[in-house]
Amino acid sequence: MSSKEEIESAINAKGEQIREIKTAKPPTMKDDLAPLIAELLALKVSYKAVTGEDFGGPPPAAKPPKVKKAPEPVKEREGPSKKELNKLKAKEVKEAAKAAAAAAAEAAGLTPKNAPVVMGDADIGDASLYCDVPLIQSQIMTERVFVDVDDLRPQMQGQEVWLRARVHTSRPVGKGCFMVLRKGLATVQCVFFQGSSIPKAMIKYGNSISMESVVDVLATVTIPDSPIKSCSVSSLELSVKEIHVVSRAQDLPFTLEDAGRSEEDHIASGMPVVLQDTCLNFRHVDLRTPANQAIFRIQSGVCTLFREFLLKKKFIEIHSPKLIAGASEGGANVFNLEYFGKPACLAQSPQLYKQIACACSGLDRVFEVAPVFRAENSNTHRHLCEFMGLDFEMTIVEHYYEALDVMSGLFTYIFDGIGDRFNHELKVISQQYPFEPLQYTRPTLRITFQEGIQMLHDAGITDAPFDDDISTPHEKALGKLVKEKYGTDFYIMDKYPLSVRPFYTMPCPENPNLSNSYDLFIRGEEIVSGAQRVHDVNLLIERANHWKIPLEGIQPYIDSFKHGALPHAGGGIGLERVVMLYLGLKNIRKTSMFPRDPSRLAP
Amino acid sequence: MSSKEEIESAINAKGEQIREIKTAKPPTMKDDLAPLIAELLALKVSYKAVTGEDFGGPPPAAKPPKVKKAPEPVKEREGPSKKELNKLKAKEVKEAAKAAAAAAAEAAGLTPKNAPVVMGDADIGDASLYCDVPLIQSQIMTERVFVDVDDLRPQMQGQEVWLRARVHTSRPVGKGCFMVLRKGLATVQCVFFQGSSIPKAMIKYGNSISMESVVDVLATVTIPDSPIKSCSVSSLELSVKEIHVVSRAQDLPFTLEDAGRSEEDHIASGMPVVLQDTCLNFRHVDLRTPANQAIFRIQSGVCTLFREFLLKKKFIEIHSPKLIAGASEGGANVFNLEYFGKPACLAQSPQLYKQIACACSGLDRVFEVAPVFRAENSNTHRHLCEFMGLDFEMTIVEHYYEALDVMSGLFTYIFDGIGDRFNHELKVISQQYPFEPLQYTRPTLRITFQEGIQMLHDAGITDAPFDDDISTPHEKALGKLVKEKYGTDFYIMDKYPLSVRPFYTMPCPENPNLSNSYDLFIRGEEIVSGAQRVHDVNLLIERANHWKIPLEGIQPYIDSFKHGALPHAGGGIGLERVVMLYLGLKNIRKTSMFPRDPSRLAP
């Protein structure tokens, strides 16, 4: 049997034989069918060896997925798309799966290339139970419902479920395979042992799937004798009936176990941890660790909570341009570029625009969530060259305390919200990065700059100046003193020296050396900077002149205050810092999905 | 009386006299006090003439605002801030107000410079009723409650209210002043006439306030005989008792009336409209027109609705870097810059990163709202060089129709939400820019590209190619044909030729010349582009090679698909286009707060 025609005819005959048995539907169907299907597969391998192509004949009998008709457009109509839909037939897909199964079996060493199978029929069994999924190209929509690992419940005992997940771990045990599947933060144990419905080849196929590959599994939910402590879904396990690789992972740069190991565990066990730079170089793998999955859910949550609170307070969301003609806050540390032949730069903050929108344009209360760009050559644990600014600006009636009240309410809402909505995520993170829960008061503690510096002096740190900016080590020391005295990790420090704040900061009415400005701190590190701003155009010009800021660079900004401007105040929150410090993490790169620092521009 | 000491002593004596009368509290107090206060003011003017400084002596008697103690920090404590708080005394502020009143009276020609007043005492009356507010520098927090124009209700009849608002219009009527105040979209009429409690100088002060100035007004709510049709608050008006300028507007570049005039009204009345470029040059004034206030509320609403829907569907928000090493979608039309000595560019979309997050990093369903940058020299009504992308990307199980179902639900939610939440804003916009309400079907109509082109051919537009991209005029023509045939302004066109889509687009399984890609249209203009993406690393490399895209530029992207990747699809929505086309506006610059095009980089 060596000609194409002969093999085609044999394949078709074998297919017919299988269909006949299927139609009879005896209880032992699968066992009867297995050798026939193995023969069929062998024939197809021969076909490919002879013709160089996959066999495209009639489909095999093994249960085709139910085809759901692709959704119709809202109106009845004729045309090519209907024809297309008609083409989406299950048999084609199944056929492709078969061919892939044969190829996979071949690759797995089960069928020597260009030769009929050498394993026994029973060893191969129904290869459609353990073949690779053909490239998912939207050929078909079936009625298969996939269950998330997270949604598995003991009440499903005895039910058959489809899952698509990653192979978290896999190990051969005797004549079987133990596999942990993972989706997001959830893991579940899967088992299958060689037996009447599980051929030897399926075990081999399962054990050959590389870690982190994506698989589809059809399994029965069973209840184990004792909980599976190593999995997040511990009260049940899955008895695998089919397994199919959707996407096979090549060699990993590191294991998730190593990337997710806590420092404590590393020291205790001597097992490796992965360097942060290596993690970031392969961020797509690194992001899969439980802690990272949780960190970025919380990051998303902080943005949601920020907006929820402000929208309730009648703020509206704005979007200010990032491409600007002048430097937004003085000329240093900006990224320059050419804009259609004109010099331009990237906004270092939405500061000037949010002020214009708020105080000069009748929008009154505005917020923006957007990237800000700093060309600052700072290689520290808390600086990024691109980070997310959560900015807000609001008109005030009399006093910037009105804005501080909003700020206090906002952060209380965010901190409460993280605790309420991300309890599980917090636990997961603390397993890799143990941290003390954030202590905060209601309302937020306020101290003045002078009080803060005095506290340092009283504690023997007498080199902290009253009339200059506070250094990072002093901030940290103050954070500890405040925690001791007031029992809070979160507080506002008010009335900074005027000389250390931007030109648009409102001077303090009582003391011309101070300003109506404030920073907010978590665990002794700054997360917000804000102030009442100057809304009087003459004072604004005076302050810009004082700072020797060329007016022509900020003329549109200055001019915006000429036609009636409202008193206003606000602040800019660093998203990555809030998340880092809330979680007590030691490096801001851990809370930026694809961080940018002076030496990192990829991935 | 010409020495500083003499005048000081006289001022203090006059102040004492006023305080004594106030303490007695006779019913006619104000009338008794008026001449004394006028004398006091005159003395202060003399003081300034002699010393060159404002008088800083004891305060006058006129009712000081009730001082609310500034909020205490949560813990009791001692230190400088307490002292500061103590300094926030009403009298100082009131004193400053007095000095300002004198200066204002002087400026208004009521008191010849360097000379005692010439107007009669009764003409000046209690100048503290109509003086400028001293620069609001957070000196004080009173218990004054300010009411928004929008929150005024006829039930408040007889109540005294404080308002801070802009002077929308103002006109002298006999011995009185009619003024319309505006905040946001709300306007209210204010009136005051010369009388026992309103001196002549107050009318003069009121009538001298320039349009768009910000004022504080104390007024009694009254019910007019007939509704004030010219104001949004038509069922009441305000009888002014005090008026104070907070911020005086200089000459306006144009009036809001001209900037807010409809084309129809312009043609009918011959009254001017303001050119779009002029509006954009003075965007801070232009944004105050009713239509613009409404447009940017709706823009904010679209973002809110976008996120609400996707968060409910288990998406998480991500933030991808805008500073990248390679060009995100091929090398053309990117803004280049230098990143610490290395070449970099601005992301043209979050495309590659959202795919990595979704398909390769275990986040599964992600969205991002962020600026995208296109250095495209397109000077059209619908192109911007910086615009807001509302991007989403999700894993699919079998078919990209899963993503189109999400898209269909998403837009239905957004369109419904605009209608439900911004009914008033829609009316306001239609007054300046009349438009047909958007027609849309549930679920969203889907046609194929081939069907769309066929519709054009059937309508006699036979130069539309089946195998190339569809031109903008053809898109518009098709929009009309679809509206006629299916009764919808909003639809999805599916299965674009592969050759007109980016390299990462999944080819169509049935026809290698087509792709699993789609655009969404409103009123015949594209607002979304999306597709199923290639998740197989080998196919991805093959497609990149086909497009001759240098792999080294996108290596981190390619590598991300090597370690297991899930099938996925998504889309990118242009925020400004959605708002423009929903509202039937003719230019995208109307829906970008500070638009960027090849010739505009400011404000």
CB-CB under 8 Å, A398 with B141 = yes
Query: Phi first, then psi: what are they for A447, rounded to 5°?
Result: -125, 160
A308 to chain B: closest CA residue: B304
Decide if A335 touches B, using CB distance below 8 A: yes
Decide if B68 touches A, using CB distance below 8 A: no
Give the pLDDT of residue B76: 38
Give the pLDDT of residue A553: 83
CA distance B480 to B474: 10
Handedness of CA B49, B51, B54, B57 (dihedral sign): negative
Give the pLDDT of residue A366: 98
Give the pLDDT of residue B552: 85
The average confidence (pLDDT) of chain A is: 87
Give the pLDDT of residue A52: 55
Give the pLDDT of residue B332: 76
Dump pLDDT digits (tens) for A558-599.
999 999 999 999 999 999 999 999 999 999 999 999 999 999
Q: pLDDT at residue B52 above 80?
A: no
Closest CA to A476 of A408, A416, A438, A522: A522
Give the pLDDT of residue B464: 97
Question: pTM score, two decimals?
Answer: 0.84
Dump pLDDT digits (tens) for B277-305.
999 999 999 999 999 999 999 999 999 99
CB-CB under 8 Å, A284 with B138 = no
CB-CB under 8 Å, B325 with A602 = yes
Give the pLDDT of residue B229: 95
Give the pLDDT of residue A4: 66
Give the pLDDT of residue B503: 95
Give the pLDDT of residue A486: 98
In eight-state DSSP terms, residue A133 is P
CA distance B145 to A527: 32
Give the pLDDT of residue A12: 72
Residues 433-472 of B with CB under 8 A from A: 441-448, 450-451, 454
Q: pLDDT at residue A88 above 50?
A: no
For the segment B163-187, the average pLDDT, to the nearest whole number, is 96
Higher pLDDT, B125 or A363: A363
For the segment A151-170, the average pLDDT, to the nearest whole number, is 97
Q: pLDDT at residue A262 above 80?
A: yes
Dump pLDDT digits (tens) for A193-241.
999 999 999 999 999 999 999 999 999 999 999 999 999 999 999 999 9
Best of A143, A181, A246, A319 to disrupt the B interface by mutation (most B CBs within 10 Å)? Answer: A319
Segment among A107-121, A446-460, B198-212, B441-455 with least mean pLDDT: A107-121
CA distance A286 to A294: 12
Beta bridge partners of A413: none
Decide if A19 touches B, using CB distance below 8 A: no
Q: pLDDT at residue B356 above 50?
A: yes
**Looking at CA atoms only, how far is residue B82 from chain A in angstroms?**
10
Give residue B18's pLDDT band: very low, low, confident or very high (50, 70, 90): low
Give the pLDDT of residue A160: 97
Q: pLDDT at residue B456 above 70?
A: yes
Which ipTM did the prediction report? 0.84
For the segment B453-481, the average pLDDT, to the nearest whole number, is 97
B282 to chain A: closest CA residue: A560
Higher pLDDT, B31 or B579: B579
Strand-by-strand arrangement of the A316-317 sheet: A316-317, A365-373, A386-395, A568-574, A525-533, A517-522, A490-494, A445-448
With contact defined as beta carbons under 8 Å apart, do A161 and A221 qualify?
yes
In whole angstroms, how far apart are CA A286 and each of A257, A274, B65? 10, 10, 60
Dump pLDDT digits (tens) for A491-548.
999 999 999 999 999 999 999 999 999 999 999 999 999 999 999 999 999 999 999 9
Give the pLDDT of residue A28: 42
- B138 chain-A contacts, CB cut-off 8 A: 396, 398-401, 506, 509, 516, 532
- Helices A401-421, A575-582: axis angle to 10 degrees equals 50
Give the pLDDT of residue B98: 57
What is the Rg, in whole angstroms, of the alpha carbon atoms belonging to chain B? 32
Q: pLDDT at residue B1 above 60?
A: no
Q: pLDDT at residue B396 above 80?
A: yes
Instruction: Say which of B81, B346, B565 has its CB closest to residue A448.
Output: B81
Dump pLDDT digits (tens) for B271-283.
999 999 999 999 9
For the segment B146-153, the average pLDDT, to the nearest whole number, is 96
Give the long-range contacts of residues B117-122, CB within 8 A, separation 24 or more.
B117/B38, B117/B41, B117/B42, B117/B45, B119/B200, B119/B201, B121/B34, B121/B35, B121/B38, B121/B39, B122/B34, B122/B35, B122/B199, B122/B200
With contact defined as beta carbons under 8 Å apart, do A422 and A301 qualify?
yes
Q: pLDDT at residue A478 above 90?
A: yes
Query: Phi first, then psi: what are they for B184, rounded to 5°?
Result: 60, -120
Percent of chain A with pLDDT strictly greater than 90: 76
Give the pLDDT of residue A76: 38
- Type and span of the H or E element at B533: strand B525-533
Instruction: Say which of A212, A323, A353 has its CB closest to residue B601.
Output: A323
Q: pLDDT at residue A36 above 70?
A: no
Percent of chain A with pLDDT strictly greater than 70: 80
With contact defined as beta carbons under 8 Å apart, do A410 and A399 qualify?
no
Give the pLDDT of residue A86: 39
Contacts of B483 (CB under 8 A, 6+ apart): B439, B489
The amino acid that residue B224 corresponds to is: P
Higher pLDDT, B330 or B265: B265
Give the pLDDT of residue B83: 40
Dump pLDDT digits (tens) for A417-465.
999 999 999 999 999 999 999 999 999 999 999 999 999 999 999 999 9
The average confidence (pLDDT) of chain B is: 87
Q: pLDDT at residue A314 above 70?
A: yes
Decide if B421 touches A, using CB distance below 8 A: no
For the segment B371-375, the average pLDDT, to the nearest whole number, is 97
With contact defined as beta carbons under 8 Å apart, do B354 and B570 qualify?
yes
Best of B247, B254, B444 to disrupt the A interface by mutation (most A CBs within 10 Å)? Answer: B247
For the segment B78-96, the average pLDDT, to the nearest whole number, is 45
Closest CA to B588 of B367, B406, B387: B387
Q: pLDDT at residue A399 above 60?
A: yes
For the segment A324-340, the average pLDDT, to the nearest whole number, is 80
Give residue A98's pLDDT band: very low, low, confident or very high (50, 70, 90): low
Residues 474-493 of A with CB under 8 A from B: 485-486, 488
For A52-77, where are the alpha helices, taking DSSP H only? none
Q: pLDDT at residue A87 above 80?
A: no
